[in-house]
Structure 1
Amino acid sequence: MPGHTTGKVVCSCCQKLVTSRTEYNHRKRKLLNTDSLAGDEQEDLRVPTNGQRVKVPWRLPELRVVPTNHNIPGSRPPSHRTASDSCNPERDLQEGSAIDVDHMDVDAPGVEVPGAAHTEPTYIPVRYHATVEDEEEEEEEGEDDEDVGVEDAEAAASVWEELAESLIRETQLSKDDLSEEDKAYLRVFALRVNNHMSGNLFGQLPFVFPEAALASWKTIVYDCCINSCCCYVGPHVEAQQCLYCKEPRYNTSGQPRQRFVYIPIIPRLQAFFSNQRMSQTMQYRATEHVHDPDKVQDVFDSEVYRSLLGKKVTINGKTLSHSFFNDKRDVALGLSTDGFAPFRRRKKTTWPLILFNYNLPPDIRFHIQHILSLGIIPGPKKPVDFDSFLWPAVQELLRLERGVHTYDRCSDEFWMLRAYLILVFGDIPAVSLMMRMKGHNGLCPCRTCNILGVRVPNSRKTTHYVPLSRDQLPRPPDGTNPTYDPSDLPIRTQAELLAQAREVEDAPSAAAAERLAKAYGVKGVPLLSVLSSLNFPYSFPYDFMHLLWENVVKNLMLFWTGDYKKLDEGSEEYEIDSKVWEAIGKASEAAGSTIPYAFTSARPPNVATDKTSWTADSRSFWALYMEPVLLQGRFKRPKYYHHFIKLVKLLNLCLQFEITKAEVEEIRVGFIEWVKEYERFYYQDDPQRLSACPLTIHALLHVADSIVKAGPVWASWARRFPYASMNRYILNHARLQQVKLMYDMQQILSLKAPPRSSVGTNVPGYTTLALLPPHRESIPFDSIDKGTFDKIVGTLCTRFESSPAHVKVVLNSATFQEWSKVQILGGGDLIRTAAVDRRSEDSREASFVRYELLIDRNARFPNRPVILQKETFFGHLQKIYHLTLPKEPLGRVRRPSAQLPPPSVPTPITVLLAVIRAYPTTERHSTLDIHYHTSSGNLDVIDMTTLGCLVARFRVAENSTKWAVIDRSGSLARALYVEPDAAPGEIAEEED
């Protein structure tokens, strides 16, 4: 924040003599006024078209004389109006003289879109007319501040808007309205985006393919500091140099030295509702999600969301007429950011800004095509004024709180589109910037509670640590040494936090402001506080990915290898011998071949030697599934292992797709006990070991409350950022997704063949799976080895209660086909047979499976009745057989499983059988649902309906004969998301 000078200036807001720093705060606070933020900016929506140039402002002007509904200027039947003339304001004005054109900005900046190659860019009529009725701007001083219903759709729609609505309805286009030239251009543009094609290469395509329709897109930019200190908007809009680093805004040629690309929110939200299928999908919040007060299943079960229901929207102290989420189409949003280094040297950082659309179902919510990228703060340094980069987004979010006039394709009606930001998350430094918190440099470093931090005695470091135990710490100057009950921490409130922020900003001097900021941990009023949908601090949960995988788990590994901040073991013995750690690393690296891609996209790295390949995804898999196996028996004293297993159990609870209130309490108590034990082992009440108590350990005490307040951790977990490496890619990707939605061209512009489920073989009676090639047809049954054939006969005898002799006779006339792959539909696994798995030495095993059999509990007692009991087995899938049996009946059908076809089997009979080499489990983990096997067992032939899912396995040590089996479908199941290429009902892509 500026204010490095000691002189005073006359404030342009209060006309008083104040410091330059105070004048800046006053000016910024004035600009935070809603009328300034949510002005009448113009729509900037670019869509390919063959239409003519049309320029449409955000808001149409008022009418001087209101015509009757029967005499709307320019109205005529839809069949007589074309897309090119339906949005021609000049023609419409000529047809009816009742409109005053003095205030109609027909020359306002338009919406530029690509046309044919080497031609002038064309413009398209904006079919989602974004209108915000803001009559408060016209109120005279002294009028009642209560909103009079302007936000209501009926009150907001003037006759002129009715005309606009009719035009929008008439010009609604689909892929059938696009020419082949348009589609050809869009396919080439999709090729560029999907393959990260460089601009130079893309520019050469017209010369390689001269017949193709190619064009370029203009970007939407704001000037920003060369060091990314600030964006030149709001209070910085007139600045000629950065107020923080003093670098000039422009170069010697008068051009901005760096720019920030921003992609508007409103047009893309409107595009969701212009697509009939997506408009229906967007109603998940209101029509599909069912709130259970005893469970937390989604953000819509959180206290943050539920506290908004029925509450009036307030903007700038004015209460509006509508309530939060009173329309089933109202949209809930989450904002996330994370500073990352796009290059290997990791010296330069960039900060992507993305929005999550919570109205979409959880299984597709985090797919890249549904994430709204707002842009990237370019770097190379951390922003100083993060609010300035959020300024354009907050402008739109305020307009969305009021309402934007929008057409809903699904209901064929206009309504006021409203969207509310309810969650903000990211790593701790990123959220500290958005909340304007001091973070670990403040005396109160936690954004959730007022716990006081302490420094390492006699150290120059400014970092504050937050241990619970403080008995051995030096007494502060006031002689008090507060103690904290982890079950009753001093939680911050919104009123307190914002009052402290205002006190900091109103401090008489920069030095006084810095003292207050350090004491409170708050640097000023955050821009996001103007959004009444946000709750400080509960709308800002700790991001589970960064908190656990990038901090807690990573730091534990550093403790065990003796690499944590130059601390020795102290009075404990938690370090693992270097040779043992090397052996763990080799076993971890070797496990990659037998862990399917579906479990983790990257192969587990060698933990002893590889320090750069780790991602949050790979570290989470390693911690939850591999570490409990590979660390067992490796510590000198088992208490450290048991302490870690307690953490894994808590993490598994947190990662459940739904969490009961009883489990939330278990998480609360569990983390309190775990943190206390952690301090005994690693902090040891030693003031010189305070660095073992960073904010990330303390934050675990807030996880349970965060689940209750903000929803399950997976809902605010930025697990995978969407290719956030280049401004150009983010911008082009957003444009491409908007075109896909508006013209319903998701499949055409995917540049892929139709989903492979359409070419897979679906077998009658087996609706949950599809068979995939390669396969062999008409296999002679006598070509099957005798052992397998006898197992097939036995399986059919059991299923149809027939004799072996009868079954063999029928099989003489049966048709055998052999398949190599099976896809479990509905987002399930792609499973291969062992023969396919062995074709490539570097492939990853995807043939070890879980399956179920009904076992006769009285099999050893021939005279007792049959009592079938379901049991789970693991094994290696060897063969998949598709049998077509002749019309001759085999006998009465037995139903060994509720999943098998019903007794009324059609003729000819179709049966799918899986041949599996069983691997009996010999033991299981004492605490977790992890099983072990040592050797193979018998051959089982099962009906394919009893095939469960893929499982992973790996050796517990290099060259060991003992294998650990990881079954994600058991109690270790966690919230996972189907990748876009493996959406429900489609065939998953294979990865090696």
Structure 2
Amino acid sequence: MDHSVNSEETPATIHLHPLPQYEHYESEAADLDNIFEVAQLSDFRTSIDFINALRDATLGGEYSNLSPAAIQRIRNPPSKVFDFSEDPDLRLGLDIFLANINSSADAYHSTREAIKRRYPADSIPSHDQIKRRIEEITGVGSVSHPMCKNSCVAFTGPFSQLDICPRCGVTKFCPETKKPYQEFITIPIAPVLQALWRDPKSADRLRYRRRKTQEIIAELQENSGSLPSYDDFLHGSDYLENVRNGNIQDSDMVLMFSLDGAQLYAHKSSDCWIYIWVLFDLSPEERYKKKHVLPGGFIPGPNKPKNMDSFLFPGLYHLAAVQNEGLLLWDASSDRLFLSRLFLALNTADGPGMAYLNGLVGHHGKYGCRLYCTVPGRHKPNGPHYYPALLKPTNFSMPGCDHNDIPHDSLPCTSSQLYFQNLRHVLNSPNDTQYKRRRLETGISKPSIFLGIQPVRVLGIPGCFGSDIMHLSSFNLCDLLLSLWRGTLDHDKDDPPSEWPWAVLVGDVWTLHGQHVAAATPYLPGQFDRPPRNIAEKINSGYKAWEFLLYLYGLAPALLHGILPNPYYLHFCGLVKAMRIILQRKIRREDILVAHTLLVSFAHEFELIYYQRQIERLHFVRQSIHALLHLAPEVFRIGPPICSSQWTMERTIGNLGQEIRQPSNPYANLSQRGLLRCQVNALIAMLPESLAGAKYSAPNRVQLPRGAIDLGDGYALLRAQDHRLRSMQKSEARALAMYFNQRRVNITAITPSQYPDWCPDIARWARLRLPNGQIARSKWKEGSKPLEKVRISRNVKVVFSSHIFTLAMISTYSDPDPILFKESAGTVLVCKYTEDSAPIVIDYRAIISVVGMVPHNFHGLNVEEDWRFVVEKPGLDVARFGGVYDNDSEEGRDNEEGNALGSN
């Protein structure tokens, strides 16, 4: 299916947020002293103390907690490539350590002892010694701080002199041991960044942002100030404006901060928090991978923090100190030292986490938008929660929220000026009663700790707090829509779900629907990652975000046809069409405008056909509906949402959690695995390609399996292969001859009159690796396996070409059924396939992606025929950015557009 859009509808004019007024933001932020002086309440004073400590941060400052040696190394980093060959025993120890990185220390000891028995003279470091050497080589270590054993606060910054938790009254130290009850660790970012520049190839990869920025600026000049497409954060207007005004220089490094909570055990209280750093200086193909994502800190449970600022403070203090002093980097590719000032671009989190970061009231507040737009919510009589319904309920008289309708296509936008004005108003609250009133009026709960970052070194507040496409597109929208369609959403006693015309997924219908979802599994290629399980059985038992995503935007449009009545079905298809665009890595400008039109229409119609201006249904309109209105404008501001999504954070939590080796003390073990991850990532960046073998060498080079043939441009033939030539079938030979005849290719010694009897000998290949990282498999091998043991990967999307290269033979599906295509707003392509359809020959470069072709019986179509609907991997890049690839591929490039479907 082609996600490029050629809509007959004229897209609505998109009301973009104006370019940030950075000069005004900087003047407001620089005047924080005057703003903070009005603060009356003690809780505000605590937040302000943390903020002021950040503003004055230095590497040797009061709250640094770094050793003098660590400070000296950061200020004067090594200025030569580390020569591992000078110490062969160390090199051997590193090889053994990296080879056993996911094994226990005993595996390292066993290998070391086996080598020493054969070569007793070798002085291979012990496991503890090799870990200390890695920290010494890379400079990457951790800083520990005490914390309340109930997770209330960390004894950092203004709390560092306290001996008793200010929230629960528990003492900091254990009376018996005189040591803190519990500690948490922070991993300073500066040594990690310095290590990344200490290899010429790694340093060159870190120049991606500089090169890309120059290309974008040239593209802007060629296109009269507009961009034809957006495929990175670097395309966003906020970033480009900071480049224009000099806040971001070529020598700087640009970071993203991401925070999330982690539940280490499914059935045991184990709440902890993790934050990571992502480098926008690396290309998108690299920055989101496991070996380039940098863990920054670990906040143990068992409870949620009462003061998150105190836990984030050490990491942000270190960042602010480096920003204030500048970070000296040695570029191994040019043998030069240069000063870099880190720029904090974005701060991302899910809903609960974002409330910690931005200091806003959260999604239930009157101003509950995480982007701090000025749309007020409405609440029910005597209800504490507000809902962002833009249409006023009928006969609604509620002081403070009975404003008139707000147009869906022209939301008022916010600005840093409004934020600081409201912040001053909240801080000036003389008492707790006035504070609650002003918090309600402004949507600000407290000053964000990120106000401590220099105004010229951060994207701007509230602009640096982005959206969360992962949770929005999967959990949030699925939960809302399925609750409506199943009739399980909370309801008024006078508004029973039995009277909802859309509540159709009930009883046997819901059971059968779940079976259809599960039955699609064999027809979804393995590289689609985890397929949706039977949603009727598993929805309440750990249904994953990726399952929801593939279900909602891949399977549901087809499986709900004929079940969900109009106008609800057509309304849903509009959402699917828009989200398929928004979830892409590379989005064309005209497609963004079409997506915005569709999303505005969806949000408006949602209120009309579900909420229907009824007070008792006000809670239907959740923040997830309102957030859709911001998605397209945010692409223009900070690039495609996938580039700043929580997928990277979720993958990091997942793979670090898998590495826990000591269930009895999971928090400490998780922290140590995170530290080791940072150290090893830094070490790998410094290693010559030959040191640790193919596993750790040349991140940009794809390692082909044995016997594969590299066809160039990201394509490769992969085994199995015919061991000897075989004769083509007559139908195959005719297709090949027709291909040659149409392209006027001369076949030696064969005249056109002989084509009907021509039957050459060929050798077949089983698989073709595509540039996007997928593997297309042939029916020859895949068809020999039982259906229950295969995830079919032989259905492909192709775009035809006139060039002649290596060839592939396919049999095609029919054109999509036009009636179903129209009824689903173009989201469902249902094609017919016949086993004996004549094969055709195509250039292998015409194959651009692997798709699922799921059999299903549709109302109005002959059930005796083999009808199948197309399922594409949502966005295609979503899982790749998290580090998930097909088994035979680790690299890829952008998905291209196609116009035909084929079955190989």
**2:838 aligned with 1:928:** no
Matched ranges for 1:755-770 at <5 A: 756-757=703-704, 759-762=706-709, 769-770=715-716
Paired letter, 1:39:
G
Paired letter, 1:173:
F
Distance of aligned partners of 1:424 and 1:787 in 2 relative to their CA distance in 1, 3 Å threshold: same
Distance of aligned partners of 1:40 and 1:425 in 2 relative to their CA distance in 1, 3 Å threshold: same
Indicate if the aligned counterparts of 1:407 and 1:413 stay in contact, CA closer than 8 A: yes
Indicate if the aligned counterparts of 1:617 and 1:719 stay in contact, CA closer than 8 A: no
- Say which SS state the counterpart of residue 221 (structure 1) adopts: strand
- Say which SS state the counterpart of residue 407 (structure 2) adopts: coil
State the distance in 1 between where 2:584 and 2:865 align.
Answer: 32
Q: Could you say which residue in structure 1 is the equivalent of 2:561?
A: 632
TM-aligned CA deviation for residue 259 of structure 1: 2.0
**2:319 aligned with 1:425:** no
**2:854 aligned with 1:954:** yes
Paired letter, 2:509:
V
Q: Could you say which residue in structure 2 is the equivalent of 1:33?
A: 55
Indicate if the aligned counterparts of 1:837 and 1:846 stay in contact, CA closer than 8 A: no
Paired letter, 1:408:
D
State the distance in 1 between where 2:263 and 2:485 align.
Answer: 27
Indicate if the aligned counterparts of 2:85 and 2:91 stay in contact, CA closer than 8 A: no
Indicate if the aligned counterparts of 1:821 and 1:833 stay in contact, CA closer than 8 A: no
Higher helix share: 2
**2:234 aligned with 1:300:** yes
Indicate if the aligned counterparts of 2:291 and 2:681 stay in contact, CA closer than 8 A: yes
TM-aligned CA deviation for residue 366 of structure 1: 1.3
Indicate if the aligned counterparts of 2:64 and 2:317 stay in contact, CA closer than 8 A: no
**2:143 aligned with 1:255:** no
Paired letter, 2:233:
V
Please point out which of 576, 579, 596 is paired with 1:648.
576
Q: Could you say which residue in structure 2 is the equivalent of 1:156?
A: none
Q: How many residues matched?
A: 785
Q: Could you say which residue in structure 2 is the equivalent of 1:899?
A: 803
Please point out which of 173, 184, 188 is paired with 1:264.
188
Distance of aligned partners of 1:226 and 1:208 in 2 relative to their CA distance in 1, 3 Å threshold: farther
Give me the TM-score of the superposition, normalised by structure 2: 0.78
Moved more, 482-491 or 387-396: 482-491
Please point out which of 712, 724, 741 is paired with 2:640.
712
Q: Could you say which residue in structure 2 is the equivalent of 1:436?
A: 359
Please point out which of 793, 803, 821 is paired with 1:846.
793
**2:449 aligned with 1:516:** no
Unaligned runs of 5+ in 2: 1-35, 118-123, 132-140, 221-225, 658-669, 893-904
State the distance in 2 between where 1:961 and 1:983 align.
Answer: 32
Matched ranges for 1:485-500 at <5 A: 485-500=407-422
**1:590-616 Cα deviation digits (max 9, x unpaired):** 111111122x21022112111234222
TM-aligned CA deviation for residue 477 of structure 1: 4.4
Matched ranges for 1:168-183 at <5 A: 168-169=78-79, 171-179=80-88, 181-183=89-91
Q: Could you say which residue in structure 2 is the equivalent of 1:878?
A: none
TM-aligned CA deviation for residue 706 of structure 1: 1.9
**1:832-862 Cα deviation digits (max 9, x unpaired):** 444245335422112223446xxxxxxxxxx
Distance of aligned partners of 1:364 and 1:786 in 2 relative to their CA distance in 1, 3 Å threshold: same
**1:466-505 Cα deviation digits (max 9, x unpaired):** 2112233642347964543334444332233234334434
State the distance in 2 between where 1:583 and 1:767 align.
Answer: 44
Indicate if the aligned counterparts of 2:51 and 2:449 stay in contact, CA closer than 8 A: no
Indicate if the aligned counterparts of 2:721 and 2:766 stay in contact, CA closer than 8 A: yes
Please point out which of 287, 294, 298 is paired with 1:372.
294
Indicate if the aligned counterparts of 2:725 and 2:763 stay in contact, CA closer than 8 A: yes
Matched ranges for 1:455-470 at <5 A: 455-459=379-383, 462-470=384-392
**2:78 aligned with 1:185:** no
State the distance in 1 between where 2:48 and 2:723 align.
Answer: 80
Indicate if the aligned counterparts of 1:471 and 1:685 stay in contact, CA closer than 8 A: yes
Please point out which of 333, 336, 350 is paired with 1:413.
336
State the distance in 2 between where 1:976 and 1:265 align.
Answer: 26
**2:543 aligned with 1:530:** no
Matched ranges for 1:661-810 at <5 A: 661-720=589-648, 721-724=650-653, 725=657, 726-744=670-688, 748=692, 751=695, 756-757=703-704, 759-762=706-709, 769-779=715-725, 781=727, 785-788=729-732, 791=735, 799-800=745-746, 802-803=750-751
Q: Could you say which residue in structure 2 is the equivalent of 1:56?
A: 69
Q: Could you say which residue in structure 2 is the equivalent of 1:155?
A: none
Please point out which of 146, 149, 155 is paired with 1:223.
146
**1:186-226 Cα deviation digits (max 9, x unpaired):** 34433454x3x456877887778776643234753222222
Distance of aligned partners of 1:832 and 1:614 in 2 relative to their CA distance in 1, 3 Å threshold: farther
Distance of aligned partners of 1:242 and 1:298 in 2 relative to their CA distance in 1, 3 Å threshold: same
Distance of aligned partners of 1:239 and 1:515 in 2 relative to their CA distance in 1, 3 Å threshold: farther
Indicate if the aligned counterparts of 2:729 and 2:759 stay in contact, CA closer than 8 A: no
- Say which SS state the counterpart of residue 368 (structure 1) adopts: coil
Moved more, 400-409 or 218-227: 218-227
TM-aligned CA deviation for residue 331 of structure 1: 1.7
State the distance in 1 between where 2:807 and 2:227 align.
Answer: 42
State the distance in 2 between where 1:227 and 1:693 align.
Answer: 36
State the distance in 2 between where 1:303 and 1:346 align.
Answer: 44
Indicate if the aligned counterparts of 2:156 and 2:313 stay in contact, CA closer than 8 A: yes
State the distance in 2 between where 1:200 and 1:472 align.
Answer: 70
Moved more, 403-412 or 789-798: 789-798
Distance of aligned partners of 1:592 and 1:797 in 2 relative to their CA distance in 1, 3 Å threshold: same
TM-aligned CA deviation for residue 953 of structure 1: 1.0
State the distance in 1 between where 2:890 and 2:249 align.
Answer: 39
Indicate if the aligned counterparts of 1:231 and 1:389 stay in contact, CA closer than 8 A: yes
- Say which SS state the counterpart of residue 256 (structure 2) adopts: strand
State the distance in 2 between where 1:934 and 1:477 align.
Answer: 61
Distance of aligned partners of 1:837 and 1:332 in 2 relative to their CA distance in 1, 3 Å threshold: farther
Distance of aligned partners of 1:986 and 1:542 in 2 relative to their CA distance in 1, 3 Å threshold: closer
Q: Could you say which residue in structure 1 is the equivalent of 2:260?
A: 338
Distance of aligned partners of 1:809 and 1:918 in 2 relative to their CA distance in 1, 3 Å threshold: closer
- Say which SS state the counterpart of residue 657 (structure 1) adopts: coil
Indicate if the aligned counterparts of 1:332 and 1:359 stay in contact, CA closer than 8 A: yes
**2:324 aligned with 1:404:** no
TM-aligned CA deviation for residue 660 of structure 1: 4.5
> Radius of gyration: which is bigger?
1
Please point out which of 274, 277, 280 is paired with 2:201.
277
RMSD over aligned CA atoms reads 3.7
Distance of aligned partners of 1:972 and 1:394 in 2 relative to their CA distance in 1, 3 Å threshold: closer
Indicate if the aligned counterparts of 2:155 and 2:161 stay in contact, CA closer than 8 A: yes
Distance of aligned partners of 1:984 and 1:593 in 2 relative to their CA distance in 1, 3 Å threshold: closer
Indicate if the aligned counterparts of 2:491 and 2:497 stay in contact, CA closer than 8 A: no
Paired letter, 1:235:
P
Indicate if the aligned counterparts of 1:175 and 1:745 stay in contact, CA closer than 8 A: no
Q: Could you say which residue in structure 1 is the equivalent of 2:900?
A: none
- Say which SS state the counterpart of residue 534 (structure 2) adopts: coil
Give me the TM-score of the superposition, normalised by structure 1: 0.72
**1:435-478 Cα deviation digits (max 9, x unpaired):** 1111134332224223333333244xx32222112233642347
**1:709-765 Cα deviation digits (max 9, x unpaired):** 2222112112242342332322211111111012235982675899542634337x7
State the distance in 1 between where 2:307 and 2:845 align.
Answer: 58
Paired letter, 1:615:
K
**1:245-269 Cα deviation digits (max 9, x unpaired):** 3333223322222222211111111
Please point out which of 763, 768, 788 is paired with 1:822.
768
State the distance in 1 between where 2:715 and 2:59 align.
Answer: 53
Indicate if the aligned counterparts of 2:366 and 2:443 stay in contact, CA closer than 8 A: yes
- Say which SS state the counterpart of residue 194 (structure 2) adopts: helix
Unaligned runs of 5+ in 1: 1-13, 46-54, 60-128, 132-163, 312-322, 853-869, 871-896, 902-911
State the distance in 2 between where 1:357 and 1:350 align.
Answer: 24
Indicate if the aligned counterparts of 1:544 and 1:713 stay in contact, CA closer than 8 A: yes
